[in-house]
Amino acid sequence: HHHAVSVARSAAITGPYEGNRGNPILTHRHLGLDYPIVGTGHADLVDTPAGEWWMVLLAMRPYGGYYYNLGRETFLAPVRWEDGWPIVSPGTGRVELTYPAPALPEQRWPVPAARDEFDRPTLAPHWFFLRTPRVDFWSLHDRSGYLRLQLRPERLSERVNPSFVGRRQQHIHFSAQTALEFSPQTENEWAGLVMVQNDNFHFCLVVTCTDQPVVRLIKRAFGVEEILAEQPLVAGRCYLKVEAHEQAYSFYVATEPDKWQPMLEGVDGRILSTPIAGGFVGAVIALYASSNGQASTNYADFDWFEYTGLDESGG
């Protein structure tokens, strides 16, 4: 929260440097914990071909209290030079949610499709792994049109590389769902959808097996695991969904498309925020499979994954 941006100048890169008597030239620490943008810092200056200057920086958007599940996000603020010093966001001195666009040609970057059918030869660029894989635990070729994850002993609760393919939570309000085909043989075998801040703070909506297949919602916080809900499940194909509205996360299961049954609604999602969990990155939604410390030759097939932002502002 107390982040700030200070500046010094010199006629030569080797110095000597003169600090700005007005430092910090940007901070939001005096605006209160409920201000919509907090923690401004880690800045740099850029100029455009048209001669405009901008500051690019990191900051957070808290919601549901002083909690920010999206982690540090990138912001832009206009800069004007006066007497050889940069003035950030002239007239207000603080980063605003919107500004007039720079005088640049519009460049629209490709936006990932809401639904990934896993029908390409490689994973799309927005997918990532948790730490560096040492083996290929995933495949788009073993079963055409499916993402197959091998069950391995590595657990999400350990600082290892589990069978985990994730993407960022990018919206304060969002929905994520997947279609899963998985036949667990023991209670150690899990596969499903997970919401993760780190190894000690996450939710797992997974299919597993007791004396019959079940879907289970598990919360891990402060290193302690708790089963929040459990429902019996017919073996074979099922659908899993998580939907968030600010800090209220709801989890659903279905055995037919769009016939959602609530596992648990309105779960407190603040454990996915860095003020509780630590760190500085945002929460992640992932497809996950594990045999939880036991050897296994089993696997889980994910037919598709869909992520939809529900924010009215689009961000």
Report residue 218's pLDDT band, with 50, 70 and 90 as the boundaries.
very high
CA dist 260 → 113, 230, 246, 255 (Å): 23, 15, 21, 8
Report residue 315's pLDDT band, with 50, 70 and 90 as the boundaries.
low
Asked if the structure places residue 44 within a domain, the reply is yes
Q: Are residues 14 and 84 in the same domain?
A: yes
Mean pLDDT of 115-128: 97
Mean pLDDT of 89-105: 95
Report residue 91's pLDDT band, with 50, 70 and 90 as the boundaries.
very high
| CA–CA separation, 40 and 57 (whole Å) | 7
Q: Report the predicted TM-score, pTM, of the whole model to 2 decimal places.
A: 0.94
**Residue indicated by tokens 């001669």:** 51
Q: Using an 8 Å Cβ cutoff, are 59 and 28 in contact?
A: yes
Asked if the structure places residue 195 within a domain, the reply is yes
Asked if the structure places residue 149 within a domain, the reply is yes
Q: Are residues 143 and 268 in the same domain?
A: yes
**Residue indicated by tokens 């609760």:** 157
Q: Are residues 21 and 126 in the same domain?
A: no
Predicted confidence (pLDDT) at residue 235 exceeds the cutoff of 80: no
| CA–CA separation, 124 and 101 (whole Å) | 29
Predicted confidence (pLDDT) at residue 214 exceeds the cutoff of 80: yes
Predicted confidence (pLDDT) at residue 312 exceeds the cutoff of 90: no
For the chain, the average pLDDT equals 96
Asked if the structure places residue 107 within a domain, the reply is no
Q: Domain residues for 150?
A: 115-309
What are the φ and ψ backbone dihedral angles of 34, each rounded to 5 degrees?
Answer: -100, 5
Residue 159 has a pLDDT of: 96
Residue 109 has a pLDDT of: 87
Q: Supply the CATH number for residue 124's domain.
A: 2.60.120.200
Q: Are residues 290 and 212 in the same domain?
A: yes
Q: Using an 8 Å Cβ cutoff, are 40 and 88 in contact?
A: no
Asked if the structure places residue 99 within a domain, the reply is no
Mean pLDDT of 250-256: 98
**Residues contacting residue 170 through CB under 8 Å, at least 6 positions apart:** 70, 307, 309, 315
Q: How many CB atoms lie within 10 A of CB 294?
A: 13
The pair of structure tokens assigned to 107 is: 């460049």
Let me know if 4 is exposed, middle or buried by CB neighbors in 10 A (0-12, 13-18, 19+). Answer: middle
- Encode pLDDT of 295-308 as tens digits: 999 999 999 999 99
**Residue indicated by tokens 């919509």:** 36
Predicted confidence (pLDDT) at residue 40 exceeds the cutoff of 80: yes
Asked if the structure places residue 278 within a domain, the reply is yes
Q: Are residues 144 and 25 in the same domain?
A: no
Asked if the structure places residue 304 within a domain, the reply is yes
Q: Are residues 125 and 200 in the same domain?
A: yes
| 62-94 CB burial, b ≥16 within 10 A, e <16 | bbbebbbbbbbbebbbbbeeeeeebbbbeeeeb
- Encode pLDDT of 145-162 as tens digits: 999 999 999 999 999 999
- Encode pLDDT of 178-188 as tens digits: 999 999 999 99
Q: Are residues 143 and 182 in the same domain?
A: yes
Predicted confidence (pLDDT) at residue 313 exceeds the cutoff of 60: no
**Residues contacting residue 11 through CB under 8 Å, at least 6 positions apart:** none
Mean pLDDT of 120-124: 97
